[in-house]
Amino acid sequence: MKKHLSAIILFSLISIQSFGQGSISYYTPTHYYGLFSQETTSARSAGMGRTAITMDGIDNAFYNPAAIGLTKAKISTHFNYAHGGQVRINSHYPFAGVTYRVNDRLNLGLSSFRWTDRNPIWTTQIAGRDFSVDKREQTMFSVNAAYEVIDGLYVGASGLYLYEEGIPGSITSRDFIFNLGAIYEKEVDWIKVEKMQNQKIRGAASLVNAGMKNRTEQTYEDLLNYRSMLILLHLGASYHFSVPLSNNLVQGKGFFDQNSKQMDVGVHLQFRDELPGKDPLNTQGYNSSFGVGTETWFFNTIALRMGYYFEKRPKDIRPEGGAWVTTDVKGFTWGYGARLPLHQWTEGQFPFNAEVNLVTGRILGEVRKDYAHRPPIGENNFLFSIGVNLQWVK
């Protein structure tokens, strides 16, 4: 008890000395912060500087619905779980999605994503009133479709239903938005080096909340509060190539794909900008971000990933006084993965092959180091994320 009391007193004194009577704010661009946190649906992209819109799979379809067009399997399922957060330290992010290829051109997908904050240190605030809760949840369901218009050009659309249970047992917000996206893939021969084979490029663009609805309601009993909804523009590009390797390194080792004799490399770039929309309600300013990531597959079996991410946030000092105690987000990311040919290993008893991706490392920091935060804020610096992708064999 004395320890907690001392921490609260220290927190209060430093706040007063540092910022006078101004308010202390942790950056929260929308009350749907759990669903828009970007640490969420794909362990693969989390390890690559959060570059998602040029990658395939239902796990990236929230950022670009055209992503499922690149998935060639008849049926593909994806499960992802992430845990971590510096400000909302008890955050859990489970995700599940499935795609079904109707024909050579059309692919459909369904997904479910949830953010859960268990035993939160924060209250739920609605219309100026604070409510102490033992759990807070936000959920998203999406329906996706991607179509190959011409060879290499995929367009996608998704409808998303979002709702928040800011107070257990009560839906405090509900919204419907739709996203649009496109990916163009083309084979090239730009680098005239004999060992650089299978060169191709991708260009991608997407708009999250394409209806430009940037105002939503948060309600509880007779309380009503208007909140901001994000509108996000993404632009991205990637370059891919293969380099031959000596098959003697893995010959006879059953874990590795014996048919692959190469290293496959992809370099991804992504820019994201938050748009004001037609009815601005954002009181905390807008942000933009840039990410770069690389992915290398060895013998189509083992993957290593790394990247860098930078997110520019509003200025630290607020015009009306007080300050942000969070800051720009920047840092290196890394991850790894493996492909498991379960269909081959079990002689067809398993009807699918698996891909497992992991991120186990330091989370990208967002709290200011020159400010003493109330414990346990800023104490959780570890991100765990795992993704399992199952692709059914025809």
C-alpha to C-alpha distance for 259 and 242, rounded to whole angstroms: 14
Quick one: pLDDT band at residue 119, thresholds 50, 70, 90?
Answer: confident
What does the pLDDT average to over 41-62? Answer: 96
Q: How many CB atoms lie within 10 A of CB 301?
A: 18
Q: CA 84, 85, 89, 92: dihedral to nearest 10 degrees?
A: -40
Listed by start position, the domains of the chain span: 23-392
Mean pLDDT, the chain, as a whole number?
A: 89
**How far apart, in whole angstroms, are the C-alpha atoms of residue 62 and residue 115?**
14
pLDDT score recorded for residue 264: 96
Smallest CA-to-CA distance from 345 within 355, 337, 353 is with 353
Output the pLDDT for position 244.
93
In the numeric block, the tokens 């011409």 are attached to 150
Its CATH class, for the domain covering 23-392, is: mainly beta
Give the tens place of pLDDT for each residue, 120-135. 888 899 998 999 999 9
Residues in contact with 323: Cβ distance below 8 Å, sequence separation at least 6, in sequence order = 18, 19, 22, 24, 25, 316, 317
Return the pLDDT at 295. Answer: 98
Question: What is the pLDDT, as a whole number, of residue 14?
Answer: 38
Q: Please state, in angstroms and rounded to a whole number, the distance separating the CA atoms of residues 83 and 135.
A: 15
Statement: residue 13 has pLDDT above 50:
no
What average pLDDT does this structure show over 378-390? 93
Q: Over the stretch 255-307, which tens digit does the pLDDT of each residue have?
A: 777 677 899 999 999 999 999 877 767 767 788 999 999 999 999 999 999 99
Query: pLDDT tier at 10 (50, 70, 90 boundaries)?
Result: very low
> What string of H, E and C letters represents the secondary structure of the chain?
CHHHHHHHHHHHHHHHHHHCCCCEECCCCCCCCCCCCCCCCCHHHHCCCCCCCCCCCHHHCCCCHHHHHHCCCCEEEEEEEEECCCCCCCEEEEEEEEEEECCCCEEEEEEEEEEEEECCCCCEEECCEEECCCEEEEEEEEEEEEEEEECCEEEEEEEEEEEEECECCECCEEEEEEEEEEEEEEECCCCCCCCCEEEEEEEEEEEECCCCCCEEEEEECCEEEEEECCCEEEEEEEEEEEEECCHHHCCCCCCCCCCCCEEEEEEEEEEEEECCCCCCCCCCCCCEEEEEEEEEEECCCEEEEEEEEEEECCCCECCCCCEECECCEEEEEEEEEEEECHHHHCCCCCCEEEEEEEEEEECCCCECCCCCCCCCCCCCCEEEEEEEEEEECC
- Asked if the model's pLDDT at residue 5 lies above 70, the reply is no
- What is the per-residue pLDDT for 322? 60
Asked if 329 and 368 count as a contact pair (C-beta separation under 8 A), the reply is: no
List pLDDT tens digits, range 132-172: 999 999 999 999 999 999 999 999 999 999 999 999 999 99
Position with higher pLDDT, 97 vs 252:
97
Look at 146-160, 245-259, 350-364 and tell me which has the smallest mean pLDDT. 245-259
